[in-house]
Chains A and B, each alone.
Chain A
Amino acid sequence: MAENNSTADSKDVVLRSSIDRSLRHPVMFLFASGALWLVLSIVLGLVASAKKHNPEFLTCFSWLDAGKVDAAHMSAMIYGWGLQAAFGIIIWLMARLSRKECTASGIILWAAHVWNAVVSYGIIRIMMGEGSGVTYMEFPSEVWPLLLVCYTTITIWSLVQFQVRDAGHVYVSQWYLLAGLLWFPWIAVTAWVFVFLMDGHPLMVAGVAGWFKGTLFSLFFLPVALGSAYYLAPKVTGRPVYSYNIALFGFWSLAVFGPWAGMEKLFGAPVPQFLPYAGAASMILILIPAIAVGYNIIKTVIGNSEVIAESPSLRFTAAGVVLFLAFGGLSVLLHTVPALKLTQFTYTGYGFDILGLYGVFSLCAFGAIYFIVPRITRREWLSRRFIKWHFFCSIYGISSVVICAIAGGLSQGQGIEDLSQPFGTMAERASQFSWGVTLAWAFILFANFFFCLHLFLMWARLGRRSSHPTLLDAHHPTSPHGPEGEVDNYSSASA
């Protein structure tokens, strides 16, 4: 019996190793190009933020006007970094959990190159002042069909792998990944058709764009982040998910509340009144899946504080889950009727969006990348110092961006409401907060510069040749990495 188990285990090790090998090139390309886009988007965010307190900054370059650079910053973060990181996580996790090798890695790699070319074209057009001007859909109209074709070409193989998986258990992570895979084409195709193809009323175009903005996070980025967290938390701690019932409840509550998000942006606009209220209600109710997921994952990892402290993957993932709880709490506070009056046309929405995109999604994605990359490159991360800088500067930076933008936005909102004051006072109120945001982006840039450098060194297979993972243990008697040169016996078994 023990011999049979041993044979099955060794077969599984070989299978996992072959899955990693089959996905090495597309996943590394997606992560590395995503990291480059992240650095670029942070540089653009820095410039955009500097222009808010110093409008004369870089005015000599017309392609860096405030409107263009703001749009390019968010587009690079969403389509350059966010979606590519999500693709890498989805295709690797789905292959691993379905226990199927990828047979189309060349096609995925090709589609990933096209995706990058199309995003570059879109960003250049935005910089030339030829963007669409639609929030979160700033690329010109011809870009969207190409992006949708690339999306389908990259992710369809994961749906096929899920369909032909060996019969048995479907993991919680797979629920989220599968849902995200199918929800994205729904929201993207619908938004693209209504915004760019159909000759609809401009007000409803704004409504559809608001809905796309809300659901892109709640129905794509969030499921991918939570799918990754539900994979890593039990994997790294070696414990099962605390409660499958709570996981099921969290998933379905997100599926029910998520699709209504976004229309709160039209609060006060001449649209049927239930639309913004439904959007605001759904954003408030996001707290329910946040509590369900947060409680479940914290209960799964609790009692393993050493593992959380030492494992880069778990540390980033745990931080992402905690920030998801903060996101849910803030969502309740910022989407009540009195708060919406203050946040409608101010800086607050930006802080809240960045909390979702960087604080929740990106931290979970970093956790996944720190876990996946050593397995597909068969090398360990070079420097725990780089990882620590990445973590602490990211946490400090994102906290500062969110606090400054939300507090500044609320102050701005009070300025707008105060009719006895001139309108310029409102802008002055936000000025000192935008200094804080600029400084915070500088910290995030520092963090991600080293992350990007580290990732490229790993891609060049210059990582450590050791079977001992790079842990963040500062009190190890000799080296936390263990002996070098054992990689030849290493076969991804620890995954």
Chain B
Amino acid sequence: MDHTRDNPLKRFSAFWIAILLATSFGIALIITQPFAPDKTDKAYEMVSEGRLEIKDGIDRAQDDALNEAALAEALQAQAKSFDKNTESKGSMPVPGAAPTPSEKPAE
């Protein structure tokens, strides 16, 4: 048996080599990340300017078309007649509502 293989210096260096080996994969990934190809989709990048212009145009047109005064007036009219709403023939029953007197079983 060769006992010169086992000494504190050897153990110390083996410990740090093992730490380096265990972490080397993470270190390699961190080092190589800046050299990884650009993640941007080239086709998307090429058309993105035109698409953003169209989107801006739509947003502007919608903002211009919005008549806030008319909208507020319409909401006021709805609010005033809200309490006068009555159940129509086609309205859905409320789930779990209490039975009407006519549906109550005879006691």
Which chain A residues have a beta carbon within 8 Å of chain B's beta carbons? 100, 151-152, 156, 159-160, 163-168, 182, 185-186, 189-190, 193-194, 198-201
Besides the known contacts A156-B19, A159-B17, A167-B1, 16 further A-B residue pairs in the complex with CB atoms under 8 A apart: A100-B6, A156-B15, A156-B18, A159-B14, A160-B14, A163-B11, A163-B17, A164-B5, A164-B11, A166-B2, A167-B2, A167-B5, A189-B26, A193-B29, A193-B30, A201-B39
Check A189–B14 contact: CB distance below 8 A.
Answer: no
A13 vs B47: C-alpha distance when bound (angstroms)? 76
Query: Residue of B at shortest CB range from A156?
Result: B18
User: Given B2, B25, B30, which contacts A185 in the complex, CB threshold below 8 Å?
Assistant: B25
Q: Across the A-B interface, give the 8 residue pairs with the lowest CB-CB distance, nearest first.
A: A163-B14, A159-B18, A164-B6, A167-B2, A189-B26, A185-B22, A166-B1, A160-B14
Check A166–B25 contact: CB distance below 8 A.
Answer: no
For A194, the chain B residues whose CB sits under 8 A away are 29
- Closest beta carbon of chain A to B42's beta carbon, Å: 14
Query: Residue of A at shortest CB range from B18?
Result: A159
Does B23 count as interface, using CB distance less than 8 angstroms?
A: yes
Check B29–A182 contact: CB distance below 8 A.
Answer: no
- Closest beta carbon of chain B to A178's beta carbon, Å: 11
For A168, the chain B residues whose CB sits under 8 A away are 1-2
Given contacts A156-B18, A160-B18, contact A165 B5 (CB under 8 A): yes
Does B10 count as interface, using CB distance less than 8 angstroms?
A: yes
Given contacts A166-B1, A166-B6, A198-B33, contact A186 B18 (CB under 8 A): no
For A163, the chain B residues whose CB sits under 8 A away are 10-11, 14, 17-18
The proximity string for B residues 69-88 relative to A, scoring 1 for CB distances below 8 Å and 0 otherwise, is 00000000000000000000
Check A193–B18 contact: CB distance below 8 A.
Answer: no
A166 vs B39: C-alpha distance when bound (angstroms)? 50
Does B21 count as interface, using CB distance less than 8 angstroms?
A: yes
Which chain B residues have a beta carbon within 8 Å of chain A's beta carbons? 1-3, 5-7, 10-11, 14-15, 17-19, 21-23, 25-26, 29-30, 33, 39
A164 vs B7: C-alpha distance when bound (angstroms)? 8
- Sample (29) of A-B pairs whose CB atoms are under 8 Å apart: A100-B6, A156-B19, A156-B22, A159-B14, A159-B17, A159-B18, A160-B15, A163-B10, A163-B18, A164-B5, A164-B6, A165-B5, A165-B6, A166-B1, A166-B5, A166-B6, A167-B2, A168-B1, A168-B2, A182-B22, A185-B21, A189-B25, A189-B26, A193-B30, A194-B29, A198-B33, A199-B39, A200-B39, A201-B39
A186 vs B18: C-alpha distance when bound (angstroms)? 13
A165 vs B21: C-alpha distance when bound (angstroms)? 19
Query: Residue of A at shortest CB range from B41?
Result: A201
- Closest beta carbon of chain A to B60's beta carbon, Å: 32
A39 vs B3: C-alpha distance when bound (angstroms)? 44
A168 vs B6: C-alpha distance when bound (angstroms)? 13
For A152, the chain B residues whose CB sits under 8 A away are 19, 22-23
For B17, the chain A residues whose CB sits under 8 A away are 159, 163
- Closest beta carbon of chain B to A163's beta carbon, Å: 4
A246 vs B23: C-alpha distance when bound (angstroms)? 32
For A156, the chain B residues whose CB sits under 8 A away are 15, 18-19, 22
For B6, the chain A residues whose CB sits under 8 A away are 100, 164-166
